């Protein structure tokens, strides 16, 4: 996908068009609730398109974002008592989010007792300033609130920054799977901790 298609998605999310020059300054991480469904959907679509939109044909990307990052999906995730979501806000604007719940990655050691960091995304203007580590820490604390357990996460094999972040938090490679967006198949790594 070309830069123009990625820019189209960002243009639909006005709060992401101006970067905060101080990524960690004034950043608030808070639990998302039912009233945050639209904000969660918008930041989900915007950050996915920003990070990975160039990998997919525009029609495949639009279809994927509508299904995986639409308001209905956000409402469903927020209504699920087995899941939790967080919004990252700077100057009152959503700049990232995380979603966690029961383990479901395609690995033989994933069980109902496992947890999973399903999604963790930050707008590019807020990466590499410690915000991702704070957000991951909040997510892991929630997943382990009732005791330590094995936690899983899937990450694109070429997302080296995210892989370094997860390694700093004790995650190790445990397998691979295909992440499907339309006709595209991406090699995802399955990471585990514990």
Q: What is the pTM of this model?
A: 0.84
Q: What is the pLDDT, as a whole number, of residue 171? A: 98
Matching residue, tokens 């995210």: 162
Whether pLDDT at 55 is above 50: yes
Q: What SS3 state is found at 167?
A: helix
Rounded to 5, what percent of the chain is helix, strand, coil? 40, 30, 30
**Mean of pLDDT over the chain:** 87
Domains of the chain (ranges; CATH) run: 3-17+24-193 (3.40.630.30)
Q: Are 9 and 49 in contact (CB under 8 A)?
A: yes
User: What is the band of 65 on the pLDDT scale with cuts at 50, 70, 90?
Assistant: very high
């Amino acid at each position: 996908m070309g830069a123009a298609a990625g820019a189209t998605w960002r243009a639909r999310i006005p709060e992401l068009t101006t970067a905060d020059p101080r990524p960690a300054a004034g950043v608030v991480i808070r639990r998302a609730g039912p009233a945050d469904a639209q904000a969660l959907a918008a930041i989900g679509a915007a950050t996915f398109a920003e990070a990975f939109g160039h990998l997919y044909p525009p029609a495949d990307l639009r279809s994927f974002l509508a299904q995986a990052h639409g308001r209905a999906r956000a409402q469903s995730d927020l209504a699920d008592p087995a899941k939790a979501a967080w919004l990252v806000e700077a100057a009152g604007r959503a700049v990232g989010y995380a979603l966690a719940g029961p383990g479901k990655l395609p690995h033989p050691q994933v069980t109902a007792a496992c947890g999973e960091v399903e999604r963790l995304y930050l707008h590019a203007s807020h990466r590499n300033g410690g915000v991702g580590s704070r957000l991951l820490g909040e997510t892991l604390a929630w997943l382990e609130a009732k005791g330590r357990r094995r936690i899983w996460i899937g990450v694109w094999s070429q997302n080296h920054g995210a892989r370094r972040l997860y390694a700093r938090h004790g995650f190790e490679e445990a397998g691979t799977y295909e992440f499907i967006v339309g006709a595209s198949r991406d090699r995802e790594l399955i990471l585990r901790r514990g």
